[in-house]
Amino acid sequence: MFLNKSHRPVWAEINIDAIRSNLIYIKSKLSQDINIMGVVKADAYGHGAITVSQELLKLGVEYLAVSNIDEAIELRNAGLSSPLLLFGPVETPEFGKLIQFNVFPSVFSVDYARELSESYRYRGVFPKVHIKIDSGMGRLGIPVEDALLDIEQISKIEGMIIDGIYSHYPSADEDIPYSEQQTLHFTKLIADIRRLGIKVKHFHIANSAGIQNLPASCGEPYTMVRPGLSLYGYSTQKNPDIQNSMSLKGRITAINKMKKGATVSYLRTYTVKESNEQIAVLPLGYADGIPTILSNKLKVKIKNKLYPVVGRICMDFMMISLGQNPEKIQVGDEVTVFGEGAASVEYFGKLCHKIPYEVTCGITKRVPRIYTRKEDERKTIE
Ligand SMILES: *Cc1c(COP(=O)(O)O)cnc(C)c1O
């Protein structure tokens, strides 16, 4: 039915319409003229960075962001030419790649900015950067208290173009007062930067939770937001306005009629309860990203009904009890492991003590990603 590089009967289906409607929702939370930087690190949280980026740019997203230089190169090699920010640091010998692939580096100190600028000057170009400020994340960046002097110094480096200055929330979904304090400190820094007349194009701080909970981060003096999770339709707090975009599916490869008392899978954790209980085999396992902790816990959807996963989840397979199989489920029938009426990504994550980010990032490379959209029934795969 769809073009597919993989010949396995399993796939992660990415609903482009859901991503579009999530983007519309995100825009509804922003002041006019706020740009969106679509965060597509980690292969767009497992949704496929190339296709997702292409779609986001078509939908009017202005910037993209990734975590490391390999991810940036992947996007450039696929022909994506939008402004692209790198969140993470780059080692000195790799500075040339930033220039070659036209990527904005993040700058974490005056020394780092100097090193970068020397490398750029050597190649005859001006560095264009985003400066990272630590306003309470405790990870990377110039501490907000010392930032003004450092930014002034960076701005005076010959040829330096500051395309942006940004910060990040550690807890904009859980600790709103703390995040408001952060916003206050960063907003004050922005006022100081402006007072000194330092030229900066963009200021940004809001991730998905910031957009949701901190209106002060979605308008003046901020000019950009950086959603990731909410674009893909997941949330750590309930949010009925966004829609999961990934569902994990596969087709049954065998159905066994088992005797009462027989056991299923490694360590024999499930015993067949009734004679003629039918056990379906689905060719998805922990090597595809389904944690074994979900053994005897998860329920999956087949023909609009939920059925329990029984026995230990294997590397390549999981088993599902169909009971006496009143619905006459057959080999080849489709199973939904999460999404579309089966467990939501959030609930699937809760069952195995994972945040939604981990669930979709955890669906491994050997599961092909397939893209669907209504306005065009054709399904394509990257
Ligand atoms: C991952 C990341 C984001 C996006 O965060 P979400 O919670 O997925 O919206 C934004 N900014 C930075 C610096 C990040 O690392």
DSSP string for residues in 149-211: HHHHHHHHSTT-EEEEEE---S-TTT-HHHHHHHHHHHHHHHHHHHHTT---SEEE---HHHH
Boundaries of domain holding 104 = 31-232
Question: Quick check: is 18 in a domain?
Answer: no
pLDDT band at 4 (very low <50, low <70, confident <90, very high): low
pLDDT band at 382 (very low <50, low <70, confident <90, very high): very low
Average per-residue pLDDT for the chain = 95
Are residue 263 and residue 173 in the same domain, yes or no?
Answer: no
Active-site position among 156, 266, 303, 365: 266
Question: Quick check: is 142 in a domain?
Answer: yes
Per residue in 67-109, pLDDT tens? 999 999 999 999 999 999 999 999 999 999 999 999 999 999 9
Q: What is the pTM of this model?
A: 0.95
Task: Name 365's Cβ contacts closer than 8 Å, sequence gap at least 6.
Answer: none
**Residue 234: pLDDT over 60:** yes
Residue 179 CA to ligand 1 centre (angstroms): 14
pLDDT band at 376 (very low <50, low <70, confident <90, very high): low
Ligand 1 atom 4 nearest Cα: 228
Question: Quick check: is 255 in a domain?
Answer: yes
- At 375 the pLDDT is 66
- At 337 the pLDDT is 98
Question: Quick check: is 7 in a domain?
Answer: no
Greatest CA separation for the chain: 80
Angstrom distance (rounded) from CA 249 to CA 256: 20
Cβ(208) – ligand 1 distance below 6 Å: yes
Contact between 148 and 189 under an 8 Å Cβ cutoff? The reply is yes
> E strands within 291-354?
299-302, 305-310, 318-321, 334-338
Ligand 1 atom 15 nearest Cα: 87
How much of the chain exceeds pLDDT 70, in percent? 97
Angstrom distance (rounded) from CA 171 to CA 26: 19
Are residue 147 and residue 215 in the same domain, yes or no?
Answer: yes
Q: Which atom of ligand 1 is nearest to the CA of 37?
A: 10
Question: Quick check: is 191 in a domain?
Answer: yes
- At 374 the pLDDT is 82
Angstrom distance (rounded) from CA 354 to CA 81: 34
Angstrom distance (rounded) from CA 331 to CA 325: 12
Residues 279-286 have a mean pLDDT of 98
Are residue 177 and residue 44 in the same domain, yes or no?
Answer: yes
Residue 255 CA to ligand 1 centre (angstroms): 43
- At 381 the pLDDT is 45
Cβ(231) – ligand 1 distance below 6 Å: no
Question: Quick check: is 173 in a domain?
Answer: yes
Q: Which atom of ligand 1 is nearest to the CA of 39?
A: 4
**Residue 313: pLDDT over 70:** yes
Residue 305 annotated among the catalytic residues of the structure: no
- At 6 the pLDDT is 81
CATH of the domain at 147: 3.20.20.10
Amino acid type, 32: Q
Per residue in 182-232, pLDDT tens? 999 999 999 999 999 999 999 999 999 999 999 999 999 999 999 999 999
Structural domains counted in the chain? 2
Active-site position among 29, 41, 128, 354: 41
The SS3 call for residue 6 is: coil
Are residue 227 and residue 253 in the same domain, yes or no?
Answer: no
Question: Quick check: is 26 in a domain?
Answer: no
Angstrom distance (rounded) from CA 176 to CA 214: 8
**Short-list 1, 4, 10, CA closest to 253:** 10
Cβ atoms within 10 Å, residue 211 = 24
Residue 347 annotated among the catalytic residues of the structure: no
CATH of the domain at 361: 2.40.37.10
- At 1 the pLDDT is 37
- The residue count for the chain: 382
H-run or E-run covering 362 = none
Identify the weakest region by mean pLDDT among 1-15, 97-111, 351-365: 1-15
Cβ(229) – ligand 1 distance below 6 Å: yes
Between residues 123 and 1, the one the model is more confident about: 123
Are residue 357 and residue 315 in the same domain, yes or no?
Answer: yes
Ligand 1 atom 12 nearest Cα: 168
Question: Quick check: is 317 in a domain?
Answer: yes
Are residue 251 and residue 199 in the same domain, yes or no?
Answer: no
Are residue 88 and residue 173 in the same domain, yes or no?
Answer: yes
What is the DSSP-derived secondary structure letter of residue 252?
-
Residues 235-253 have a mean pLDDT of 96
Cβ(204) – ligand 1 distance below 6 Å: no
Cis peptide before 356 (omega within 30 of 0): no
Residue 130 CA to ligand 1 centre (angstroms): 15
- At 146 the pLDDT is 86
